[in-house]
Amino acid sequence: MTATLPSRRTEPAAEDRAQGKRRANRAWFLVLPVVVSVAFTAVIPLMTVVNYSVQDIFSPDDRLFVGLEWFRSVARDPEVRAAFVRTLLFSAQVLLLEIPLGVAVAVVMPRRGLGVPAALVLVALPLLIPWNVVGTIWQIFARPDIGLGGWAVNNVLGLDYNYTLDAGDAWITVLVMDVWHWTPLVALLAYAGLRSIPDPYFQAAQIDGASAWATFRHIQLPRLRGVLTIAILLRFMDSFMIYTEPFVVTGGGPGNATSFLSVLLSKIAVGQFDLGPAGAFSLLYFLAVQIVCYVFFTVLTRTGR
Amino acid sequence: MAEIRLEGVAHSYDGGGTWALKPMTWTWRTGRAYALLGPSGCGKTTLLNIVSGLLTPTRGRIWFDDREVTGVPPAGRNIAQVFQFPVLYDQMSVYDNLAFPLRNRGYPKQEVDRRVRRVSGLLGLDEHLRRRSRRLDAGRQQIVALGRGLVRPEVAAVLLDEPLTVVDPAMKWTLRSKLKEIHRDTGHTLVYVTHDQTEALTFADEVVVLNDGEIVQAGEPGELFLSPAHEFVGHFIGSPGMNVLDGSVAGGLVLVGDAAVGRASGDLPPGPVRIGVRPEFVRLTSEEAPPGIAARVTGIDRMGAYDLVHAQVNGHPLVARTDAAAVREPGSVTFLRFAEGRAFLFRDAVRCGVVEPLAGSAP
């Protein structure tokens, strides 16, 4: 077998080989559908935004190239800066609440038996609700007059709570809503991570007399690193770009209290139709998300290696 | 250290539908090295987990000396267990891994340090103490896992569940001799689970053969080889395993077809019987005289130091191990004899007698 191979290989003429190579290169045409679809769905829209961001557009026929002017003005705008800090604070709070809570839920979820499907369905339920419906649910639920939650806080707990009037109440409402909506995602990811730990690890911990906390700290938590990296990235990106729910519940108010970057952006782009500033804003926003994700990812994958 | 007694212990994973472990009464004696040998799924790990307390048996009781531990959790039993693959707290250093069981039990710092250093000396881990345990090779990781068991004072027994599965063959030898050394130095009771007969026979003072949730025979390695008490032991131990021929007992004689191969020991009632004889104890001769039975040679495997002769007796295949020098041709007819006292009679897979030589004939 091996002896016959070399002689066969030398037979085809150089011409044939060149033709074969040309034919092989035609395989690149198979990539074409992807290139076209990515161009139309991502590259061209993005380049349109880049195009807007460097022009001052008065009307479709009347536009002026302004260079990086919009970037400068957006970056210096106090309203944008305030929204940036607000959004960053919101994301930080979301991560601080949802990650530990999600892990805690995953730890107490049953590992076997009929409780497993029951717990999975129950936990996954908020994830199945469309985002604007989540907003509507909470908008009504938290109302102090007819909403069950809002009414209970006022009349059972005796706290003065009204998310349409008080900035702090509005913030807490949006935060609690996000925790309710997205902690299940963290819980499911963490649960999958925990399920993948082989039984002998828990058995060894039992034999070594490890407490429940020591078992969590030294066996479960180290093995959740991978899924938690994903959970943190997903939750950061989503919460940093949160739009629908606060838009439905508070509309960004009262005042500017829940006016996150995306809410402000849509106000500039769709409300005022300022395409130039909105384009520059979008690109800076995009850049911020990329940078934070990159930092998170690098830190999370490098530590403890 | 303690004597571990199982009293009528049985276990079922499905509430009594099927029994992974059938009721057994058995004692692990202090300071001995046991091998628990059996095929996959025979209940070895179940038995081990019951001893360590990871499983509570469905039935029966467990005693460590005079203390009943049936309901005591693993931490309260002081058992060391090493699993099939190395289980380490892999973000910790080797030192912290070894110290972990002691710190969990609230030992003072100096005591922890003293014990960790003693065990690391014993296992040859001194130069690795500061390293992250996950950076070690699989063999060393397994040694660290073993060390976590040995670091506690007064360990009742060390249980090893196929600990060398992930270790490469060259390292296996080193580790096995290390284990023997530790057994010699510490005098701990060792229970070594394996499905590899060589591992079991070379390692243990006593081999316990488990099949289908039952202990079918326990004894020294030689005993299991020379006098199997169960057909399964004959098959499972030895390479190739024991030959089994269908025969019958009539008038005190053991017959294969019409030919008598010997007398049945004791007062075995007449009826069908199975004759088990290891290839090592089958002799081939060209002389046709009782108790020889005719066999047709079907093939010969030349193994270097010896030959394995395959033959057909009454339609049954049979293997004989013979000297390499002998010249035999496939298709030729030869006569078989069984070495005295080495051919056994089985009914329902359990040994019920021995083939004894015919009166007045040479064995």
Same domain, A237 and A204: yes
pLDDT of residue B254: 86
pLDDT, residue A98, reads 95
Supply the pLDDT for residue B363. Answer: 42
Confidence check: pLDDT of B45 > 70:
yes
Domain with CATH 2.40.50.140 in chain B: 240-356
Choices 3.40.640.10, 3.40.50.620, 3.30.930.10, 2.40.50.140: CATH for B240-356: 2.40.50.140
Does residue A30 belong to any structural domain of this protein? yes
For residue B120, what are its two tokens?
């690391």
Token digits of residue A20 = 């074969």
Give the C-alpha separation, B1 to B16, whole Å.
33
Mean pLDDT over residues B169-179, rounded?
81
Neighbours of B309 (CB within 10 A): 24
Residues 6+ apart with CB under 8 A from B120: B94, B95, B98, B126, B129, B147
Domain membership of residue A37 (yes or no) is: yes
Alpha carbon B352 to chain centroid, angstroms: 22
The proportion of chain B whose per-residue pLDDT surpasses 70, expressed as a percent, equals 97
pLDDT at A257: 80
Among A35, A53, A69, residue at a domain's last position: A69
Average pLDDT, chain A: 85
Residues A87 and A62 in one domain: no
- Facing residues of B336 across strands? B284, B293
**H helix runs in B67-137, sequence order:** 94-104, 109-123
B158 pLDDT higher than 60? yes
| DSSP H or E stretch at residue A132 | helix A131-141
| Residues ≥6 apart with Cβ < 8 Å to A235 | A94, A95, A98, A99, A182, A185, A186
Phi, psi torsion values for B242, nearest 5 degrees: -65, 140
CATH of the domain at A196: 1.10.3720.10
Q: Is A1 part of a structural domain of the chain? A: no
Interface test with A, best of B51, B56, B91, B144 (most A CBs within 10 A): B91
Residue A10 confidence (pLDDT) above 60: no
- pLDDT exceeds cutoff 60 at B39: yes
In a domain, A9, yes or no: no
A207 and B81: CB-CB below 8 Å?
yes
Does residue A81 share a domain with residue A41? no
ipTM above 0.90, yes or no: no
Question: pLDDT at position A185, please?
Answer: 94
**Start-to-end CA span in chain B (Å):** 49
Binned at pLDDT 50, 70 and 90, residue B250 comes out as confident
Residues A62, A85 within the same domain: no
In this prediction, residue A187 carries a pLDDT of 95
* Position A34 confidence tier, pLDDT thresholds 50, 70, 90: very high
- Please compute the mean of the pLDDT values over residues A130-148 and round it to a whole number: 88
Residue A2 within a domain? no
pLDDT for residue B360:
52
By the 8 A CB rule, do B134 and B98 touch? no
Average pLDDT over residues B151-169: 84
List of chain B residues whose C-beta atoms are within 8 Å of the C-beta of residue A214: 104
Which residues of chain A are within 8 Å of residue B92 when distances are taken between CB atoms? Answer: 218
The verdict on A37 and A97 lying in the same domain is: no
As beta bridge partners, residue A125 has: none
CB-CB: which of A203, A210, A222 is closest to B54?
A203
Amino acid at B316: H
Residue B122 phi/psi, 5-degree rounding, is -60, -40
Residue A191 tokens, joined:
């649960």
| Same-domain check for residues A282 and A139 | yes
**Does one domain contain both A39 and A188?**
no
A107 and A25 inside one domain: no
In a domain, A216, yes or no: yes
pLDDT band at A262 (very low <50, low <70, confident <90, very high): confident
Q: Do the beta carbons of residue A236 and residue B128 sit within 8 Å?
A: no
Residues of B in contact with A211 (CB under 8 A): 104
At A6 the pLDDT is 47
Q: Is B317 helix (H, G, I), strand (E, B) or coil?
A: strand
Please determine, for residue A3, whether its predicted confidence score (pLDDT) is greater than 60: no
Can you give the pLDDT at residue B1?
A: 64
Look at residue A179 in the predicted model and tell me its pLDDT. 94
Looking at the 3D structure of chain A, how many domains does it have? 2
Identify the pLDDT of residue B100. Answer: 92
Q: B162 is written with which tokens?
A: 């196929």
pLDDT at A235: 92
| Single pTM value for the model | 0.74
**Using an 8 Å Cβ cutoff, are A66 and A54 in contact?**
yes
Buried b (16+ CB within 10 A) or exposed e, A20-41: eeeeeeeeeeeeeeeeeeeeee
A115 lies in the same domain as A222: yes
Q: CATH 3.40.50.300 occupies which residues in chain B? A: 4-230
Residues A112 and A53 in one domain: no
Q: Region B226-253: what's the mean pLDDT?
A: 88
| Any B CB within 8 A of A212 CB | no
- Chain A contact for B358 (CB, 8 A cutoff): no
pLDDT of A175 reads 92
The minimum CA-CA distance between B175 and chain A, rounded to whole Å, is: 21
Q: What is the pLDDT of residue B112?
A: 92
Tell whether A234 is covered by a domain.
yes
CB A113 within 8 A of CB A298: no
Selection from A223, A203, A228 nearest residue A102 by Cα? A228
Min Cα separation B82/chain A (Å): 8
Domain coverage including residue A193: 75-302
Q: How far is A97 from chain B (nearest CA, A)?
A: 26
Q: What is the pLDDT of residue A90?
A: 93
What percentage of chain A carries pLDDT values higher than 70? 95
Residue (of A279, A181, A274, A286) closest to A241 by Cα position: A286
Question: Are B268 and B345 contacting, i.e. CB atoms less than 8 angstroms apart?
Answer: yes
pLDDT tens sequence across B70-96 = 888 888 888 888 888 888 888 889 999
Residue of B nearest to A225 (CA): B91
Q: Does the pLDDT value for residue A253 go beyond 80?
A: no
- Name the CATH superfamily housing domain B4-230: P-loop containing nucleotide triphosphate hydrolases (3.40.50.300)
**Of A95-104, A215-224, A242-251, the least confident:** A242-251
Q: Report if residue A225 sits inside a domain.
A: yes
Check whether residue A80 and residue A123 sit in a common domain.
Answer: yes
pLDDT of residue A139: 87
Are A26 and A129 found together in one domain? no
Which of A23, A49, A69 corresponds to the end of one domain?
A69
CA distance A207 to chain B (A): 5
Predicted confidence at residue A12, as pLDDT, reads 57
Q: How confident is the model at residue A2 (pLDDT cuts 50, 70, 90)?
A: very low
What is the pLDDT at residue B208?
Answer: 92
pLDDT at A5: 45
Q: Does pLDDT of A7 surpass 60?
A: no
In this complex, which of A207, A210, A211 lies closest to B52 when CB atoms are compared? A207
Q: Over range A94-99, report the average pLDDT.
A: 95
* Buried b / exposed e along A228-246 (16+ C-beta atoms within 10 A): bbebbbebbeebbbbeebb
